Structure 1
Amino acid sequence: MDHPKRRDYRRSLKIALAVTFVFLLVEIAGGFVSGSLALLSDAGHMFSDVLSLLLSLAAVTIATQLPTTSRTYGYHRVEIFVAFINSLVLIGVSAGIVWEAYLRFQNPVPIEGGLMFAIAFVGLVANGAIVWLLHGSRDLNIRSAFLHVIGDTVSSVAVMVAAAWIALTGQVIVDPLLSGIIAVIIVISAVRILRETVVILLQFTPRDVDFDAVVRDMTSVEGVENVHHVHLWSLCSGINVLDSHIYSCERDVAKIEGMKQEIKARLKKYNILHSTLEFECEQCRECALVEGVLEHPE
C-alpha cells in the first residue's frame, strides 16, 4: 500500500514522557504536603498520562514495522487498540476523582493554597510544552495521549483558580468541586475517542466519510454501469479501505484499467488509500472478456 508520509512523533513522545513522569512525582509530593485533593487527583491523571504516553510511544514504534506474510497490513491497527485502552483508563481515573471529591464534600480538610498554586503553575507550563509537542496529529493513538495532556492542562488551570480562591477566602470546598468538574470534562473527551475507536475496531463506515458520495463518485466514472458489494472501513486513523464489485460491459482491458485508476484517484479524497475493485458484467454474457475468460471461443 502506498501510504502518505506522516510526522514521526517518537521524539516528541519521549520528551513528553520524561517531563510528565518528573512532574508526576512533584504533584504527588505537593498534594500530600498541601493537602489538596485537586493536586492528588491531577497526580492520578498524570499517572494515566505516563501510561498513555508510554503505550503511545510503543504503538508508534511498532506501527513502523513492515507488513509480513502473517500480518499483511502491518501494525497500523495497534494505535487504535492503544487509543481504546487509554480512553478506558481516562474514564476509570475520572470516576475515582469524582468519588474522592464526594468524600471531600462530606469531610473537608485544610489546604495550603500557596503551595497548591505554585505546583499547579509549574504543571501548567509543563503541560503546555507537551501540548505543543503533540498537537496536530491525526492518529487516534497520539490524539488520545494529546487529550490526556489537554485534560491535565485544564486541570492545572482549575487547580490554580482553586488555590487562589482558597488563599483569599479559606473556603476549601472549591477544591473537590473543581476536581469533579475536571473529571466530567475528561470523561466527555474520553468518550469521544472511545466512540471513534469502536467504529474502527468494528469496521463500521468511517464517521467522516459520506458512503453515498463515495458510491456516486464511483458510478459517475465513464464506463461504470453500477457498483455492488461495497465494503468501506478504516484500517487506522487516516487510512480507509474499500472493496467493491464494478458492473461494466467494457471489453477493452486497457480501458478497464483506466477506469480502475480513475476510481482509485477519486477515492483518495476520502482517504481511501487501499481499494480492491473487481470488474464484472451482470447482463451481457458476451462481456466475459471483462473477467479474462471467453465462454464461447470461436
Structure 2
Amino acid sequence: MAHMHRDNGKSLKLALIITTVFFLVELAGGFISGSLALISDAGHMFSDVLALLLSLGALTLATQLPTKDRTYGFLRAEIFAALINALLLIAVSTGILWEAYLRVQNPAPVQGLLMGVVAVSGLVANIAVAFLLHGSHNLNVRSAFLHVVGDAISSVAVIAAAIWISLTGQTLADPILSGIIAVMIMFSAARILHETLLILLQFTPRSVDFDVVVADMASVAGVSGVHHVHIWSLSSDINILDAHVYSCERDAGKIEGMKREIKKRLENYHIRHSTLEFECEECSDCEIVEPVHNSLEGHDD
C-alpha cells in the first residue's frame, strides 16, 4: 500500500508541474489569439491543476497513520478530493457554456494559426500527464486522470477548429466547439460525482456482488447462516465488511478455522478488512440467512 502511494504521489507531482506550465501557455495563447475555445481549454487545464493539487494533498493525508481520535486516519480524504474535483469540473463547464452562448450571439475574430500551435502544445502536455496517471485504481487519481483525458480530447477539437478557422475564416466554430467541450467535461464529472457519492453513502461497492459474497461465506463448513451483513468502501481501493456468523460449533479452534477460511474467501472479492462476530444463538432481532437463501433481508439491518 505504501509503495502504491509513493508511485501515485510521484506521478501526481510530475503531472502537476507539466500541467501548470502548459496552462499558462494556453491561457496566454488564448488571449493573444482571441480564441474562446483555447481559453476554455486553458480553463479546463486550470481545473486540472487544482484537481492534481487536491489529489496530491489527499494522497499525502491518506498516508498518515491513524490516531485515537482518527482511527481510520485520513483515508477518506481522497474521496472528498474526488468530490470537490467533480464539482469544480461542473462549475468550469457551466462558465464555458455561458461564454460560448455569448460568443455565438456576438462572434469575435480569432487567429486560427496561433490557436492551433498553442493547442498542439497543450495536447502534447495532456498526453504526457495522462500517461503518468494511467492505470491507477485509486478513485482520487482516476478523477485527476479523467480531468486530463477530457482536456486532451478538447485539445484535439481545438486543433480541428483552428484548422477550420484558418481555411474558411468562420469563427463561429470556436464558441460551438467550446460548448461541446463543456458538455464532455460535465459527463466525465458526473461519473466521478456518482462514484464518490456511492462511497460516501456507504453503498455496497459496484464491483462486489452482495448475494454471492454472503452465499460464499455461508457455504463454509460449520457455518449455519450469516446476517447483519454490511459491505462498504472506506476509500476507492479499500473494501470493508462486517457480519454476524451463526454457528453451532463450540470448539474455539474450529471457530477460528472458520473465521480464517471466510476471510480468505473474502479476499477474492477485494475485501481485505472484515469484522466477523460469531454467535451460537440466533439473534432475536434478525433472520438467519441460510446458504441457499436470498440474503438481501440482512443487508437492510
Bin of the TM-score, shorter chain as denominator length: over 0.9
Structure 1 stretch 110-119 or stretch 203-212: which is displaced more? 203-212
For the pair 1:152 / 2:151, whether they are aligned, the reply is yes
Partner-residue secondary structure (3-state), 1:52: helix
For the pair 1:229 / 2:228, whether they are aligned, the reply is yes
For 2:241 and 2:10, the matched residues in 1 are separated by: 33
For 2:2 and 2:265, the matched residues in 1 are separated by: 16
Code of the residue aligned with 1:248 in structure 2: it is S
For 1:280 and 1:10, the matched residues in 2 are separated by: 44
Identify the residue that residue 28 of structure 1 maps to in structure 2. Answer: 27
- Deviation, 1:283, is 5.6
Code of the residue aligned with 2:172 in structure 1: it is I
Residue pair 2:2, 2:63 contacting (<8 A) in 1 also: no
Code of the residue aligned with 1:213 in structure 2: it is V
Count of residues paired in the alignment:
282
Partner-residue secondary structure (3-state), 1:224: coil
Residue pair 2:222, 2:248 contacting (<8 A) in 1 also: yes
- Deviation, 1:6, is 2.2
Change (3 A) 1:167 1:260: same
Identify the residue that residue 102 of structure 1 maps to in structure 2. Answer: 101
For the pair 1:6 / 2:18, whether they are aligned, the reply is no
Identify the residue that residue 67 of structure 1 maps to in structure 2. Answer: 66
Question: Per-residue displacement from partner, 1:247-281 (whole Å, max 9, x unpaired)?
Answer: 00011111100100100011112111110000002
- Deviation, 1:76, is 1.1
Identify the residue that residue 297 of structure 2 maps to in structure 1. Answer: none
- Deviation, 1:282, is 2.4
For 2:30 and 2:195, the matched residues in 1 are separated by: 34
Identify the residue that residue 56 of structure 1 maps to in structure 2. Answer: 55
Question: Per-residue displacement from partner, 1:220-247 (whole Å, max 9, x unpaired)?
Answer: 1010000111111100012110110000
For 1:112 and 1:5, the matched residues in 2 are separated by: 47
Aligned Cα RMSD in Å? Answer: 1.3
Residue pair 2:89, 2:189 contacting (<8 A) in 1 also: yes
Code of the residue aligned with 1:174 in structure 2: it is A
For the pair 1:239 / 2:238, whether they are aligned, the reply is yes
- Could you say which structure has the larger radius of gyration? 1
Partner-residue secondary structure (3-state), 2:203: coil
Identify the residue that residue 279 of structure 2 maps to in structure 1. Answer: 280
For the pair 1:77 / 2:73, whether they are aligned, the reply is no
Residue pair 2:246, 2:282 contacting (<8 A) in 1 also: no
For 2:129 and 2:45, the matched residues in 1 are separated by: 12
Identify the residue that residue 127 of structure 1 maps to in structure 2. Answer: 126
Structure 1 stretch 61-70 or stretch 161-170: which is displaced more? 61-70
For 2:28 and 2:4, the matched residues in 1 are separated by: 39
Residue pair 2:203, 2:232 contacting (<8 A) in 1 also: yes
For 1:13 and 1:63, the matched residues in 2 are separated by: 14
- How does the TM-score come out when normalised to structure 1? 0.92
For 2:177 and 2:280, the matched residues in 1 are separated by: 65
Code of the residue aligned with 2:24 in structure 1: it is L
Code of the residue aligned with 1:156 in structure 2: it is S
After the TM superposition, list the runs of 4 or more consecutive aligned residues in structure 1 that deviate by more than 6 angstroms.
Answer: none
Structure 1 stretch 253-262 or stretch 21-30: which is displaced more? 21-30
Identify the residue that residue 19 of structure 1 maps to in structure 2. Answer: 18
For 2:269 and 2:68, the matched residues in 1 are separated by: 28
Question: Per-residue displacement from partner, 1:143-167 (whole Å, max 9, x unpaired)?
Answer: 1111111111011100000000000
- Written as runs of structure 1 = structure 2, the 5 A alignment for 1:137-286 is 137-282=136-281
Structure 1 stretch 6-15 or stretch 196-205: which is displaced more? 6-15
Unmatched tracts of structure 2, length 5 or more: 284-301
Unmatched tracts of structure 1, length 5 or more: 285-298
- Written as runs of structure 1 = structure 2, the 5 A alignment for 1:39-50 is 39-50=38-49
Code of the residue aligned with 1:131 in structure 2: it is A
**Percent pairwise identity:** 68
